[in-house]
Structure 1
Amino acid sequence: MQVRKAVIPVAGWGTRSLPATKNIPKEMLPIFRKPIVQYIVEEAIGAGLSDVVFVTNQNKKIIEDHFDRNFLLEQVLERGSKTELLKEVREVAEMVDIISVRQKRQLGLGHAVLCAKEVCKNEPFAVMLGDDLMFGKNSGISELLEAAETEGKAAVGVIEVPEDRVHRYGIISGEEFAPGVYHVDKLVEKPKKEDAPSNLAITGRYVLLPQIFDILETQEAGVGGEIQLTDALQGLADQGKLIAVKMQGQRFDAGDWVEYLTANIYFALHDEELHDDLVKRIQEILPCKD
């Protein structure tokens, strides 16, 4: 099973990040020196995926523009002899082949994935959500690709979450057949604590088989009145074609303000030029405890 395409849904309104996202797409909010979406694209490239499919809307053209040439900016940098910055912006423009499809109505993640049907056709494909940032050697979508290709099945990434947070995620249950890898038998979207089949929560990384489109085309609206990808994945699980992989590395939920700000600090602390000054300033502004 060879996977070439990464589908990245970016058509949502980003309401969790308002008012910052009133006029700027959530995916373009910066984390350290890059917008969120660039980290996602770089993760896809690092995993060997060659094509990126943005499922977008009419207000998100700035995302596509970020991965295109900006000749005026390049001229300014060239005149100013800012060769390193010029090199960086050109590398972003040449980073990957972008394919864009429109989600004309925001009817849920399942519907967003369905919008990519004509682009993905009969090939397996990856789905990567911009809310979830994952960092670390061989972490993120590469973990799922390896497991999916080995087993010849669709795969979802999962993490363990506290019981009082299961209502915020899709939750899976299944049998662990290899370290951190599960045969999935049940998925529940945003269950109450008492109804959750486990504490294994689905993160924003998937490797899917083309059969998912047939399921999504007849999928009824679920939680929130939306077409939920989690509900459609149950169809694959019922066919014995779905595994879950416990994700490694650092994960940040970019739609959560604490997580978003922590991600910025995480990268700044790994920058040798900023580390010492940042630690000093954080210590200065931390409230004193008696």
Structure 2
Amino acid sequence: MTKRIRKAVFPVAGLGTRFLPATKSIPKEMLTIVDRPVLQHVVDEAREAGIEHFIFVTGRNKAVIEDHFDIAFELEETLQKRGKLKELQGLTDLLPAAGAASFTRQQEPLGLGHAVWCAREIVGDEPFAVLLPDMVTQAAAGKGGRCLAQCIEAYEKHGGNIIAAEEVPMEETHQYGIISIGKDFGPTFEITGMVEKPPKGMAPSNLMISGRYILGPEIFPILEKGEKGAGGEIQLTDGMIALSKTQAFHGVRFDGKTFDCGSKLGFLSANVAFALANPEVAAPFKAELKKVLGAL
């Protein structure tokens, strides 16, 4: 019987250089999609999937992230006095339960693998999820949960380790971690290989690793070796390749939409998609969007 996935790691120590000057004083994870930070959308996805403990791997100048997931006494008191109960409820609904959020530091920018390794003491000896905060997912219309929920469903079926995957154009595969597939079960498949940012024309498929993982704790001693890969960083993909020699990996084709909010285009696309899905602003926003597009 597989152990239940209770904990999730969020690597949020990145500098956000692609969004300068906005991210000079605001962490990129706190830029907003409609009315909530990018990171809140990712945490919401984890909570919807049943995650109980949220582990944030932070860096310098990221204290605002910790503040966001804490009580804002003065603000909440003011909303209460002014009778803005809907807004107050919206704030309290965002918060993890007391003691359910942990924060640890990645003192040096040594790569995603190193960031995940920094959470080892909090994760402990149990399987866990990893959610990249740049990647925001939206469930397909009329379908079930978002990406992590589908990954946990696959984990409960197959056990082992799970990676979410998404198709990209072959000419863009050199920008991502790419997987090769074995036996195909439809929405899930066996993973037979992985490579981090393969040279152009050398990718084994057009399926990129899309930022949602379920991993066994056996990944930690592998990452602890500190072996550097692409870009001179400790790559999570390299650690998973080593782990795959002794443990099974399965992939999940997410049937919704993923937005890479680490890029300006992905961030803007996410704002449009989530605005059009928001009943409070969808109709007037659509009208304004038509005006803007018409002016072009």
| Interval containing the TM-score (normalised by the shorter chain) | over 0.9
> What's the counterpart of residue 48 of structure 1?
50
Structure 2 CA distance for partners of 1:7 and 1:164, relative to 1, 3 Å: same
> What's the counterpart of residue 205 of structure 2?
198
TM-score (norm 2): 0.93
> What's the counterpart of residue 251 of structure 1?
258
- In the alignment, structure 1 residue 133 sits paired with structure 2 residue 140: no
Greater mean deviation of Cα atoms: 140-149 or 111-120: 140-149
Structure 2 CA distance for partners of 1:60 and 1:284, relative to 1, 3 Å: same
1:113-192 residue pairs with structure 2 within 5 A?
Answer: 113-136=116-139, 137-192=144-199
Cα RMSD, aligned residues only: 1.5
Match of 1:278 among 282, 285, 288: 285
> What's the counterpart of residue 115 of structure 2?
112
Match of 2:14 among 12, 15, 39: 12
- Alignment deviations for residues 190-242 of structure 1 (CA, whole Å, 9 cap, x no partner): 11221111111001100000110111112411111100001111012222421
Alpha-carbon distance, 1:182 to partner: 2.1
Alignment partner of 2:102: what SS? strand
- Alignment deviations for residues 251-270 of structure 1 (CA, whole Å, 9 cap, x no partner): 11111112211111112212
Alignment partner of 2:51: what SS? coil
CA distance in 2, matches of 1:273, 1:37: 21
8 Å CA contact 2:56–2:102 kept in 1: the answer is yes
Greater mean deviation of Cα atoms: 192-201 or 45-54: 192-201
- Alignment deviations for residues 123-164 of structure 1 (CA, whole Å, 9 cap, x no partner): 000000111111212231111111122212111110010011
CA distance in 2, matches of 1:184, 1:280: 45
1:22-101 residue pairs with structure 2 within 5 A?
Answer: 22-94=24-96, 97-101=100-104
CA distance in 2, matches of 1:35, 1:95: 19
CA distance in 2, matches of 1:173, 1:94: 37
CA distance in 2, matches of 1:273, 1:70: 25
> What's the counterpart of residue 232 of structure 1?
239
Structure 2 unaligned blocks of 5 or more: none
Alpha-carbon distance, 1:276 to partner: 2.6
Alpha-carbon distance, 1:181 to partner: 1.8
CA distance in 2, matches of 1:135, 1:283: 23
Alignment partner of 1:272: what SS? coil
Letter in 1 for 2:184: F
Alpha-carbon distance, 1:177 to partner: 3.2
CA distance in 2, matches of 1:164, 1:95: 44
The aligned length equals 289
Greater mean deviation of Cα atoms: 171-180 or 40-49: 171-180
- Alignment deviations for residues 25-52 of structure 1 (CA, whole Å, 9 cap, x no partner): 1111100111111111111111111000
Alignment partner of 1:220: what SS? coil
Greater mean deviation of Cα atoms: 238-247 or 201-210: 238-247
> What's the counterpart of residue 207 of structure 1?
214
Greater mean deviation of Cα atoms: 86-95 or 73-82: 86-95
Alignment partner of 1:238: what SS? coil
